[in-house]
């Protein structure tokens, strides 16, 4: 398996351009199952999860071409309604096929999804929504079986503003004649981008004064042409990389408003942040990192996907910091690895209590999930000496050309593939 070798202790300096958002692109790719018309999606990042999604679409019957960031999806053979386990087990987002398949064919069989090992992350919110729309949901032999004779519009109040459930139910409702109302929906920028993509296909989706999504279903949707929004998690990670190395880093082609709460916390920690219409710059004027307490929350709260990178930063604060993870259980699996690098972290249920240290120490560590792996890379950039980050296939699921971008900023990092 590939691993990163990092020679730490260098301040990052320069500019990095942000590509398309993985979390936005994945459901948009799944939405192509709603139509037989040609769909063209621009600024699609070249990531492991994207390639897995392409394989899922091809397995279901779509023709897919991917060239220089542009993905074209066309009708192929008759679509299947069952996804093989060997693809679904690789990422949780594979469950997004449920909505379009159920809407078009009144049935779908999807193995329970895999992905990062950061807790149970049940799909019960999805299933309860599908049941409200008239489907029967059965979990049997590791598969979710959805079927119905007819789907009907409904009012659905989500028990939690789940991004995945919001998007899955939106796709299904788009092809159910009548008015469906979704309440307590996710507000993440990726959801807004997803709705734009659905509208480009002819979907009728509006938001009322109470923040509810109103979907007037249609008998069919048409072609899509859409450009994926910038990746706010990559944006945040590179800004934190600049902070943790006391560097001078500018992130371009991003949407600063999507990371507003992160920037506020970085300012609270003592960093000098500049923003423009499409850039964020962090400047090396912070002598001591002030401790900041955060709690993850649905947007516009602090993103759970930035919790691990921010924890790496707080490991170097001048005092004590607390980070509460209120979205996913078991999302502190990176903490023991940071401790191996000299961090002082105590975990109590869903809260990490951090006492800042002067610097990280070089070590061999192992990533257990996507964002936790990124945190270990950030720690390695600081540690004076040589660190190794193993199992970086997790990182490849969400960071496009990470080592290339960091090298461009002055880091000394390389990918190696040990003898198998």
212 and 155 in contact (C-beta within 8 Å)?
no
Q: Which is it for strands 364-366 and 385-390: parallel, antiparallel or unpaired?
A: parallel
| Separation of alpha carbons 354 and 419, rounded Å | 37
Q: Which of 116, 172, 174, 382 is catalytic?
A: 116
Residue with token string 């788009």: 174
User: Which tokens is 419 given?
Assistant: 């003898």
The question of whether 254 is a catalytic residue gets the answer no
Sign of CA dihedral 89, 380, 255, 182: positive
Q: How far lies 3's CA from each of 362, 395, 398, 413, in Å?
A: 15, 10, 16, 10
Left (φ > 0), alpha (ψ -120 to 50) or beta: where does 101 sit? alpha
Q: Which of helix, strand or coil describes residue 149?
A: coil
CB under 8 Å to 92, separation ≥6 — which residues? 113, 114, 115, 116, 121, 164
| Separation of alpha carbons 394 and 49, rounded Å | 10
CB under 8 Å to 349, separation ≥6 — which residues? none
DSSP 32: G
Q: What is the DSSP string of 150-215?
A: -----EEE-SS--HHHHHHHHHHHTTSSEEEEEES----HHHHHHHHHHHHTT-EEEE-TTS-EEE
Residue 22 CB coordination number (10 Å): 26
Query: Would you name the residues annotated as active-site residues?
Result: 116
């Amino acid at each position: 398996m590939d691993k990163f070798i990092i020679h730490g202790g260098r301040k990052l300096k320069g500019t990095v351009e942000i590509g398309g958002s993985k979390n936005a692109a994945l459901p948009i790719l799944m939405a192509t199952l709603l139509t037989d018309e040609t769909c063209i999606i621009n600024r699609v990042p070249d990531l492991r999860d994207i390639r897995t999604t392409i394989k899922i679409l091809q397995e279901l019957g779509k023709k897919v071409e991917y060239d220089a960031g542009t993905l074209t999806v066309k009708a192929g053979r008759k679509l299947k309604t069952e996804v093989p386990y060997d693809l679904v087990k690789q990422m949780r987002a594979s469950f997004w096929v449920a909505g379009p398949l159920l809407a078009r064919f009144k049935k779908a069989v999807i193995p329970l999804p895999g992905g990062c090992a950061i807790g149970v992350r049940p799909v019960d919110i999805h299933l309860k929504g599908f049941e409200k729309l008239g489907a029967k949901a059965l979990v049997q032999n590791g598969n979710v079986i959805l079927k119905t004779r007819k789907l009907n519009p409904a009012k659905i109040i989500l028990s939690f503003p789940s991004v995945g459930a919001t998007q899955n139910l939106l796709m299904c409702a788009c092809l159910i004649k009548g008015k469906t109302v979704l309440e307590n929906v996710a507000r993440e920028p990726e959801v807004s981008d997803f709705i734009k993509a659905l509208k480009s296909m002819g979907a009728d989706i509006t938001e009322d004064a109470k923040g509810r999504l109103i979907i007037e279903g249609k008998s069919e949707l048409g072609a899509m042409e859409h450009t994926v929004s910038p990746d706010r998690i990559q944006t945040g990670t590179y800004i934190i990389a600049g902070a943790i190395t006391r560097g001078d880093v500018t992130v371009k082609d991003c949407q600063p408003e999507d990371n507003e709460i992160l920037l506020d916390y970085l300012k609270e920690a003592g960093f000098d942040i500049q923003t423009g219409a499409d850039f964020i710059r962090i400047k090396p004027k912070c002598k001591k990192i002030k401790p900041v307490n955060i709690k993850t929350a649905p947007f516009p709260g602090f993103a759970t996907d930035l919790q691990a990178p921010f924890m790496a930063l707080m490991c170097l604060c001048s005092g004590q910091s607390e980070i509460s993870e209120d979205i996913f259980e078991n999302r502190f699996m990176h903490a023991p690895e940071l401790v191996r690098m000299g961090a002082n972290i105590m975990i109590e249920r869903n809260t990490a209590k951090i006492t800042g240290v002067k610097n990280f120490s070089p070590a061999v560590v192992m990533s257990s999930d996507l964002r936790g792996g990124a945190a270990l890379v950030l720690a390695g950039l600081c540690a004076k000496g040589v660190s190794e980050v193993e199992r970086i296939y997790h990182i490849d699921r969400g960071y496009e050309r990470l080592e290339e971008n960091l090298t461009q900023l002055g880091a000394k990092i390389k990918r190696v593939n040990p003898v198998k």
